[in-house]
Structure 1
Amino acid sequence: MGYESRTQAIYQITEREPIFAEPPSRLEDIWAVDVFSLSKMKQCLPKGVFKSLKKTIQAGEQLDVSISDMVASAMKDWAISRGASYYAHVFYPMTNATAEKHDGFVSIQSDGSAISEFAGKLLVQGEPDGSSFPNGGIRSTFEARGYTAWDVTSPAYLMETDNGVTLCIPTVFISWTGEALDKKTPLLRSINAMNKAATKVLKLLGHSDVAPVNSSCGAEQEYFLVDAHFANSRPDLLLAGRTLFGKPPAKGQQFDDHYFGAIPERVQVFMQDVEKKMYRLGIPAKTRHNEVAPGQFEIAPFFEAANVASDHQQLTMTLLRQTAKKHGFVCLLHEKPFAGINGSGKHVNWSVGNETQGNLLDPGDSPHENAQFLVFCAAVIRGVHKFGPLMRAVIANASNDHRLGANEAPPAIMSVYLGSQLETLFNQIAKGDMSDNYSHKGEMQIGVDTLPPLSKDAGDRNRTSPFAFTGNRFEFRAVGSGQSVSGPLIALNTMLADSLNFIGDLLETELEKGTEQNAAILSVLKEIMQKHGAVIFGGDGYSAEWHKMAVEERGLANLPTTAEALPCLKEKYIEELFESTGVLSPVELESRYEVYSEQYVLSIEVEAKLVIDIAKTSIYPAAMRHLADIAGTVAGLEEMGISLAPDNIKTVAELTNSMMSKVAKLSSAIEKEDFGNTEEHMKYCAKTLRPMMDSVREDVDALESEVADDLWPLPTYQEMLFIK
């Protein structure tokens, strides 16, 4: 019985033996001990080999393959000394997940003996199956060859579990025909394209010494924790990652008492365990706290180079899920696992910079005098205005559609929030006026003698903006919790590269005409702001007025569903963007559209089937038992001369009939197959299947309020969110 399962789960949770945190280790003693870092390479590699490898890692020079044998041997010896007997080429297919193929350090000799061996060619290149991963038609099933290639810029590391240690080597994943089958290859290409464009602009601005320019990323990871006893009794959580049914509890997040509250003891032990593993892997976890929704939490790292940050983000998701099991939790990274309360995002804090010019998106104390900042910020504004639909497409999936547009998640309209100071400044630039009459940073007087004055930023924050400037970086708030950050980073880097190429060409033309540098810069900035300033918005992103203004007056795209967003990848100007920068070929871009479209359709179909199964095999029997029990009780009372008017019987019967009628219609609807194309299939899922599923849910959630609690088969929101 469902209720027995629920009560047993509650007993197991409340009576469980606590897991105590291990004594904390000094950060200096554990930091990056499981990483084959530059310092470890320096200790075990010949000086010339290390110097060559360092140039590849830090300056972007091509890898000298002749040193690979020595690097592989040193890497193997280090890994074996730490207990590893296998190595894995780790790559990131187009699934938001991590893939790895394990091979042993074993070589059989002619006399039948075995030795540990790891040659340079095995380090540099591997060969997993290239057809069984999503590829969007690039490879047929019978054409299976694919290659992994060592990404030297991201360090190898040891992944230690209770069952052993594996040397993990970050790689790219490409097909036999040379197309990218992964998320890392285009990310590296986008960094390269952005570096070339940024270097040209910096030199036009007068810099002669320009180090390689890279983007940086710090991804705030939100997640839910649900006790495994509850999660294992919810087929929807196990297979879809979210609850397809569940009425809101009387108390949700309306009191705002969970946000930044005292972290539950059991959760804090889990967090500390995760952080220790992250530190050992060199992942700079910095912040942990309760998020807004009950049962929701967040972990956030320091900034890192985009490629390494992307790898570390994938590792973070893996560690959260693995460690949760040890502590009796299931970690939910779905964007909206519970209806009616906040969903989970992954705010991607993004900036660009280098060692010689620093953070190129840092306005300093006088942004109106900082030409470097103004140029790069204007380039971002142009990119968001011109390629906003692309930004929406790279964060589009079935789960994020549930989250966007409410409960502190930004709307699907891509706009830029700059803050009052910078918005005023860029509005002045559009008019050709650079007078200094806008707000500066200041101080706040608290009115308490013992407290010092607090510094006040020049602008406030806007939690409804999908892309907000937050002091020295932009925060892409629309990215979903379970998504890879590579897609958003690829889009942002590529958009910036395109804008910088555009600005570089304009500046070059102006300077060649003899225009004074400051006048040339102002002329270019004025043109950009007049054409693209419509994307700047500092108001309430949820308001109906903004939605109307954005579309009708400013010409911005409103793409609320994945079915509407993904087709943007087929637009000619998006294809030209990626092809001109060398980030994705037309074939590679089309493959991504096909892969992500298929994943969207499959996700909706899985959820629809779960709705049908749970309604028929769990909810319907519970409702019928309830009706039988009540009917029997009423009949017994009537025999004793006691008359009742059980309205509950009528309500439950009507809701049950309605639910089963809707289930039958949904069952027929998911059988439809005659779609003209992928886009038509996606629209059918969004406009037909999703509403039908929501309609079934309305009846089920209403039944949960009527059926006797001791008959209800599924763990409730109240139990899952509040019992830890």
Structure 2
Amino acid sequence: MATQRFKALELVSQRKPHDVTPPSSKVSEYFGVNTFDTRMMKQMLSSDVLDSLTNAIEKGEKINEYVADAVASAMKTWAISKGATHYTHWFQPLTGSTAEKHDAFFELAADGTPMEKFKGSALVRQEPDASSFPSGGLRQTFEARGYTAWDPTSPAFLIESGKSKTLCVPTIFVSYTGEALDNKAPLLKALERVDRAATEVCQYFDKNVTKVIATLGCEQEFFLVDKAMAQARPDLMLSGRALFGRKPPKGQQLDDHYFGSIPLRVQRYLQDLEIEAYKLGIPITTRHNEVAPSQFEVAPVFEEVNVANDHNALLMDVMEKVAQFHNFTVLFHEKPFAELNGSGKHNNWSLSTNTGKNLLSPSTKAKENLQFLTFFVNTLKAVHDYSDLLRASIASAGNDHRLGANEAPPAIISAFIGSQLTAILNELEHNGDVKVDKGDNVYMKLGIDKIPPILLDNTDRNRTSPFAFTGNKFEFRAVGSSSNNAAPMTVLNTIVARQLEEFKIAVDKQIEKDVKKEVAIINVLREYISSSKNILFEGNGYSEEWVKEAKKRGLPNVKSTPKALDAMVSKKAVTLYKKMDIMTESELHARHEVMLENYVLTLQIESRIMADIAKNHIVPTAIMYQNHLIQNVKGLKEIGLDDETQEVVTTIRAISKHISEIKRLSHEMTQERKRINAIEDSREKAVAYDEDIKTKFFDELRWHCDKLETMVDDEIWPMLKFREMLFLR
């Protein structure tokens, strides 16, 4: 009789918050202690090795064998001194998570003498078995070789697991023929291209700029559920979301959870998480309650995009490990609970120069504001021209549940810039005489020299916008909470790089015709503003009016992942990635294939779980309760209370109807799944799972099961209810 459910509730009632003791009262004293970062390299490497490594990091120069051996020796010495016994190449395959294979430092010499060994060759490259990682057809199973290659731009770190410590070396992962099998390799190429393109454009304004760094601050939203409760819900454990369950009477409607007092158990968990993150050099600075009950957020300060992405992937792993100690399960699914807010991974992106200038930060100086407008408008133009690629970069089965719901931006890609900047762009497009004085300052009737450094009306962010300007950065809010940031960041940095290259070509052509540089820049910006303003929207992205307006503007509204992914392999995308040397056509098609397969498998798993729970948990419980009611009716009739049986009989009939429908839907869904599984074409199969499984069966099957939850005696209902799981204390 709902034994596991009530055992879980009893266990949770006995939970006590764990004590957490930081290594020091000052974070600065232990921040990065488990990271082989710049400080450690300066201490342990000779000046010539450090110079070579710095050039490799900043200029992409090749690392020779001598430098690799020296770095490996220093890493080994440092790691062993910290208690490490193993090392691993830490990479990010197309599964979306991270992967690692641990090798011991320990070896036996030819004469049997035990020793610790870690050579430069082991640091720079390894050959893990790649046969079981998704490749999208880039290699056959019998061609299992894959190579991991050291990424020196992201610092090595130590992972602690109990008393065990392992040295982790961030790497890319490629096939033996050189194609990228991971998320990091294309991202590194995109960051190199945006650096090069942005630096060339910066030369119009400041000759001292020799490097531009793309930066990322990633807000990570998530749910916490007590571990015992999660384990009592097969759907949560196997799919990451509750496939059944009614919204609790009190959910988030009072907005009392958002920014509220953090429950003590959760606060201790977050404190412990921060300690482990700080030791790994992950600069978390924010923690708070999110809108839905049991939903929370942590966020770091801005870092270089590649490092920020590595840190976010590592943070998710640490979050799960720390949660186990505190008897929690972390849910990263974009929509784990129906009718409650889902979770995103808001990507706050900007560009910064080696001279310390944020290129997306307005200024009080005319020349600096012309530079700001240059990068601002070019970013908007890139988003306009490649909105379909941005949409594809955030597509997943989980995010399909979230996009367009009341807490997330719609599937329509638009940009919010605020009324102040909208007015400035309108003036720049239509009005204003341009004058340039000898001091190279730009004066216009609209007065771009008067843009305030803080744009107050933008700080609200417009939470309905997928891509919002928030004062000195763009916030890509549509990224899902479980995703790897590398995919959207690869697209964003690639399209901005391409747009900046086209901008420079257009400006240089005018300069060659003796047009003043500043005037040429403004002329091109005016063209871009005019051609890309359809992407701008300041209103409510949730409204039906916006859907109609977006259609008039020609903005796509692709709500399902299989169709959104078409953009990945379009002629436009293939041309872009080939021209920018980011990915080959075969690599794009491979990723497309992997994502379609992931979508199919996700829905396949959810479908099987739903049928299992419905037939083996919910229906038997409903029948048991129905039999109890039948006995009740018989008893009432035996004592002559026939009139009192009518309402009970009505309930019995309603239960019978729901049971019949659940059985029918479960059977039909299973048969339909068998038919679809025979389809060979990946896209056709994915679309069929979307339209003929998810759309046709999921909501209706859930509705009947959830109706039974309101009818069956609470004492025998087998599934933990939302009201029991979502209010942590």
Q: TM-score range by the shorter chain?
A: over 0.9
Match of residue 370 from structure 1 = 369
Q: CA deviation at 1:361?
A: 1.0
Cα deviation digits, residues 438-492 of structure 1 (max 9, x gap): 998889xxxxxxxxxx994566431100000001110000000000111111011
Between the aligned partners of 2:378 and 2:613, the Cα distance in structure 1 is 50
Between the aligned partners of 2:185 and 2:610, the Cα distance in structure 1 is 38
Q: For residue 160 of structure 1, what is the amino acid of its counterpart?
A: E
Between the aligned partners of 2:430 and 2:183, the Cα distance in structure 1 is 41
Which of 692, 704, 713 is the matching residue for 2:709?
704
Between the aligned partners of 2:621 and 2:366, the Cα distance in structure 1 is 65
Q: Secondary structure at the residue paired with 2:595?
A: helix
Residue pair 1:96, 1:484 contacting (<8 A) in 2 also: yes
Between the aligned partners of 2:129 and 2:207, the Cα distance in structure 1 is 47
Verify: 1:717 aligned to 2:716, yes or no. no
Q: For residue 539 of structure 1, what is the amino acid of its counterpart?
A: G
Q: Secondary structure at the residue paired with 2:312?
A: helix
Between the aligned partners of 1:330 and 1:401, the Cα distance in structure 2 is 23
Between the aligned partners of 1:300 and 1:684, the Cα distance in structure 2 is 38
Counting only pairs closer than 5 Å after superposition, residues 16-165 of structure 1 correspond to structure 2 as: 16-23=15-22, 25=24, 26-165=26-165
1:705–1:316 CA distance, 2 compared to 1 (3 A): same
Match of residue 493 from structure 2 = 493
Match of residue 244 from structure 2 = 245
Match of residue 449 from structure 1 = none
Match of residue 222 from structure 1 = 221
Between the aligned partners of 2:196 and 2:354, the Cα distance in structure 1 is 15
Residue pair 2:22, 2:275 contacting (<8 A) in 1 also: no
Residue pair 1:441, 1:458 contacting (<8 A) in 2 also: no
Residue pair 2:278, 2:284 contacting (<8 A) in 1 also: yes
Unaligned runs of 5+ in 1: 444-453
Residue pair 1:622, 1:712 contacting (<8 A) in 2 also: yes
1:212–1:62 CA distance, 2 compared to 1 (3 A): farther
1:455–1:537 CA distance, 2 compared to 1 (3 A): closer
Between the aligned partners of 1:50 and 1:385, the Cα distance in structure 2 is 43
Q: Secondary structure at the residue paired with 2:487?
A: helix
Q: CA deviation at 1:631?
A: 0.9
Between the aligned partners of 2:323 and 2:60, the Cα distance in structure 1 is 38
Match of residue 273 from structure 2 = 274
Q: For residue 706 of structure 2, what is the amino acid of its counterpart?
A: D
Residue pair 1:360, 1:376 contacting (<8 A) in 2 also: yes
Q: Secondary structure at the residue paired with 2:103?
A: strand
Q: CA deviation at 1:318?
A: 0.5
Between the aligned partners of 1:50 and 1:325, the Cα distance in structure 2 is 39
Residue pair 2:361, 2:471 contacting (<8 A) in 1 also: yes
Q: CA deviation at 1:367?
A: 7.2
Residue pair 1:441, 1:456 contacting (<8 A) in 2 also: no
Counting only pairs closer than 5 Å after superposition, residues 217-616 of structure 1 correspond to structure 2 as: 217-356=216-355, 358-365=357-364, 370-433=369-432, 435-436=445-446, 456-457=456-457, 460-552=460-552, 554-616=553-615
Verify: 1:677 aligned to 2:681, yes or no. yes
State the 4+ residue runs in structure 1 displaced beyond 6 angstroms: 437-443
Q: CA deviation at 1:216?
A: 0.5
Between the aligned partners of 1:366 and 1:126, the Cα distance in structure 2 is 51
Q: Secondary structure at the residue paired with 2:118?
A: coil
Between the aligned partners of 2:364 and 2:261, the Cα distance in structure 1 is 36
Between the aligned partners of 2:450 and 2:290, the Cα distance in structure 1 is 31
Q: CA deviation at 1:176?
A: 0.4
Residue pair 1:442, 1:456 contacting (<8 A) in 2 also: no
Cα deviation digits, residues 16-69 of structure 1 (max 9, x gap): 243122256221221100001111111111221112212222444333332111
Cα deviation digits, residues 645-672 of structure 1 (max 9, x gap): 2121111111111111111111111101
Residue pair 2:709, 2:717 contacting (<8 A) in 1 also: yes
Q: CA deviation at 1:200?
A: 1.8
Deviates more, 1:344-353 or 1:360-369: 360-369
Between the aligned partners of 2:179 and 2:683, the Cα distance in structure 1 is 24
Match of residue 451 from structure 1 = none
Verify: 1:176 aligned to 2:143, yes or no. no
Q: Secondary structure at the residue paired with 1:84?
A: coil
Residue pair 1:440, 1:458 contacting (<8 A) in 2 also: no
Which of 656, 663, 667 is the matching residue for 1:664?
667
Q: For residue 633 of structure 1, what is the amino acid of its counterpart?
A: N
Q: CA deviation at 1:357?
A: 5.8
What is the CA RMSD across the aligned residues, in angstroms?
1.8
Residue pair 1:420, 1:439 contacting (<8 A) in 2 also: no
Deviates more, 1:624-633 or 1:427-436: 427-436
Residue pair 1:256, 1:292 contacting (<8 A) in 2 also: yes
Q: Secondary structure at the residue paired with 1:479?
A: coil
Match of residue 447 from structure 1 = none
Residue pair 2:363, 2:452 contacting (<8 A) in 1 also: no
Q: Secondary structure at the residue paired with 1:538?
A: coil
Cα deviation digits, residues 396-424 of structure 1 (max 9, x gap): 00000000112220000101111111111
Counting only pairs closer than 5 Å after superposition, residues 185-196 of structure 1 correspond to structure 2 as: 185-196=185-196
Unaligned runs of 5+ in 2: 433-443
Q: Secondary structure at the residue paired with 1:128?
A: coil
Aligned pairs, how many? 711
1:195–1:18 CA distance, 2 compared to 1 (3 A): closer
Q: CA deviation at 1:349?
A: 0.3
Between the aligned partners of 1:408 and 1:368, the Cα distance in structure 2 is 39
Identity among equivalent positions (%) equals 44
Cα deviation digits, residues 594-647 of structure 1 (max 9, x gap): 000100011011101111110010001000000011111221222122232212
Q: For residue 621 of structure 2, what is the amino acid of its counterpart?
A: A
Q: For residue 671 of structure 1, what is the amino acid of its counterpart?
A: K
Q: CA deviation at 1:693?
A: 1.5
